[in-house]
Amino acid sequence: MITPILLCGGSGTRLWPLSRKSFPKQFTDLVGDESLFEASARRFSGVGFAEPVVITGNDFRFIVTEQLERVGIPPAGILIEPEGRNTAPAAAAAALFAARSDPSALILLVPSDHAVPDPGAFRAAVEAGRGAAENGQIVTFGIAPTRAETGYGWLEAGEETAPGVHRLTKFIEKPDAARAEILFADANNLWNAGVFLASAQTIIAAFRDHAPAILDAVQAALDAGTVDLGFTRLDEDLWAKVPEDSIDYAVMERAGNVSVVRFEGHWSDLGGWESVWLESPRDENGNASTDHATAFDCENTLLRSESDEIELVGIGLKNTVAIAMRDAVMVADMSEAQNVKKAVSVLRDRGAKQAQHFPVDHRPWGWFETLVLADRFQVKRIHVHPGAALSLQSHHHRAEHWIVVSGTAKVTVDEEVKLVTENQSVYIPLGATHRMENPGKVPMVLIEVQTGAYLGEDDIIRYEDVYARGQGAKG
């Protein structure tokens, strides 16, 4: 059995405004009807695969569990990184975690934000590399290139050592345009997919030989970690001491036992809006658009409206990306779309909340969105999953009025507990201890009106919480 290790801690700012720090691209429905993370979990499930191990950040832990539940795939473990330290520490933590139960177990390190339209073909490539991995090789996967791409690293494949498996002779940094043309002309050169198959003990041995400081620091953070509601939390203080590096730089470019399997199928890392355009259905003029976007006399454009309340219309556009959300709009020439990351940095430095925060705030019990925010009042729409409950809490600076518009809420206000159904409301005085629960089997939706001098999410004191979040806005 192969244990997939799903890496999903990245922020994906190159796909802003749809992908943001609070809700990055791996959890969004960029292409198709499921998230990239859900698609990745499905891709490496079923015959020949064990339950996955997921490595993610604290703010995403309940998004991970919710999306895995949605696709019916229970995790073997979820490791929580206190902060992102790049891919090398994450890979080391995964290998050490897997080795606890079986050092010889094969693990597949895979980013969770790639698009692979034919998952069966990629599984076949993984199977082709199994023998080499069982014999102590670290197997990576090279994508047969379709263009002289400058946005990917490349791999140089050497002689074939087994059917479909080649000795890896060189890792190649992202090239400039001229170098990319040269690489593309040589069939031995492949795109680097950043996917690795090896036994846990082989990965650990590679770190011990080439990056012992990372291995020792990760081991300490894992050993001192704690288990919380099924999550394994790496020790925060010790994790902060782990050297930050990518797995390519730290280990793979130095190891002598790396092989590569050539994958001829379609693949994309969806690293920018041009990639999304290429992966999207397009009309005869090369235009890709969503339900609430319309192209008139346009060529080779990507028009996406992410809200059914916003109609996006493009007229006479060529080679243009336009993304409209309720709180932000991005328009760019297709050739300049890689500069979105720079634009996000400018917004962040300016203090714009849209730079990092998604308009919908996901929580373990559901989600909420702010409909109106003004001086001394705020209106939210709150969606609570069946059987879910918010924490027992109080606020120093605000009172709240809840109006149920769908489903039934079980509401606690100080000592009183009652059911509130559709079209009914309840008032929460400032300072009152309160809780909202959904006792039903369908989602419960309510409108919350807050009034007070301060309306920040950090004005919350938790007394009880089934999700063990502690204090703070999210805990």
Express each pLDDT in 226-275 by its tens digit.
Answer: 998 789 999 999 999 999 999 999 999 999 999 999 999 999 988 889 99
Please tell me the predicted confidence (pLDDT) of residue 22. Answer: 86
**Cα–Cα distance, 189 to 174 (Å, whole number):** 12
Average pLDDT over residues 173-177: 91
Please tell me the predicted confidence (pLDDT) of residue 471. Answer: 64
- The values of phi and psi at residue 338, to 5°, are -70, -15
Is beta strand 2-7 parallel, antiparallel or unpaired with respect to 231-233? unpaired
From residue 230, alpha-carbon distances to 61, 65, 148, 189, 239 in Å are: 10, 10, 45, 42, 19
Per the DSSP assignment, residues forming a β-bridge with 20 are 23
**Cα–Cα distance, 91 to 250 (Å, whole number):** 11
Half-sphere exposure of 236 (CA within 13 A, CB side): 3
Express each pLDDT in 28-62 by its tens digit.
Answer: 888 878 999 999 999 999 889 999 999 999 889 88
Which CATH code is given to the segment(s) 2-263?
A: 3.90.550.10
Q: Is the pLDDT of residue 130 over 90?
A: yes
Sign of the C-alpha dihedral, residues 39, 40, 44, 46? negative
Average pLDDT over residues 12-38: 89
Provide the mean pLDDT of the chain: 93
Please tell me the predicted confidence (pLDDT) of residue 468. Answer: 79
Q: What is the pTM of this model?
A: 0.87
Average pLDDT over residues 203-215: 96
Please tell me the predicted confidence (pLDDT) of residue 327. Answer: 92
Please tell me the predicted confidence (pLDDT) of residue 472. Answer: 56
407 sits in the region (left: phi over 0; alpha: psi -120 to 50; else beta) called left
Residues 6+ apart with CB under 8 A from 415: none
Q: Is the pLDDT of residue 135 over 90?
A: yes
Please tell me the predicted confidence (pLDDT) of residue 230. Answer: 82
Structure tokens at 224: 């001192």
Express each pLDDT in 404-439 by its tens digit.
Answer: 999 999 999 999 999 999 999 999 999 999 999 999
Query: For the chain, where do the domains classified as CATH 3.90.550.10 start and end?
Result: 2-263
Q: Is the pLDDT of residue 388 over 80?
A: yes
Q: Give yes or no for a contact between 56 and 64, defined as CB atoms under 8 angstroms apart.
A: yes
Neighbours of 60 (CB within 10 A): 23
Question: Treating both helix axes as pointing N-terminal to C-terminal, what angle do 87-99 and 200-210 enclose, rounded to 10 degrees?
Answer: 130
Q: Is the pLDDT of residue 183 over 60?
A: yes
Query: What whole-number percentage of the chain has pLDDT above 70?
Result: 99
Average pLDDT over residues 279-304: 95
DSSP, collapsed to helix, strand or coil, labels residue 466 as coil
Q: Give yes or no for a contact between 442 and 429, defined as CB atoms under 8 angstroms apart.
A: no
Please tell me the predicted confidence (pLDDT) of residue 469. Answer: 72
Average pLDDT over residues 211-222: 97
Q: Which amino acid is at 216?
A: D
Q: Give yes or no for a contact between 37 and 337, defined as CB atoms under 8 angstroms apart.
A: no
Q: Is the pLDDT of residue 331 over 70?
A: yes
Q: Which amino acid is at 219?
A: Q
Structure tokens at 152: 């990917």
Please tell me the predicted confidence (pLDDT) of residue 474. Answer: 52
Question: Treating both helix axes as pointing N-terminal to C-terminal, what angle do 200-210 and 212-223 enclose, rounded to 10 degrees?
Answer: 120
Sign of the C-alpha dihedral, residues 459, 461, 467, 472? positive
**Cα–Cα distance, 110 to 248 (Å, whole number):** 13
Q: Is the pLDDT of residue 470 over 70?
A: no
Structure tokens at 172: 């190649």
With the CA atoms of 260, 1, 47 and 197 taken in that order, what torsion angle do they form, in degrees rounded to the nearest 10? Answer: -20
Neighbours of 150 (CB within 10 A): 15
What is the CATH T-level fold of the domain 360-464, as seen in this structure? Jelly Rolls (2.60.120)
Is beta strand 231-233 parallel, antiparallel or unpaired with respect to 77-81? parallel
Express each pLDDT in 79-117 by its tens digit.
Answer: 999 998 999 999 999 999 999 988 899 999 999 999 999
Residues 6+ apart with CB under 8 A from 399: 427, 428, 429, 430, 450, 451, 452
Please tell me the predicted confidence (pLDDT) of residue 475. Answer: 38
Please tell me the predicted confidence (pLDDT) of residue 401. Answer: 97
Q: Give yes or no for a contact between 464 and 392, defined as CB atoms under 8 angstroms apart.
A: yes
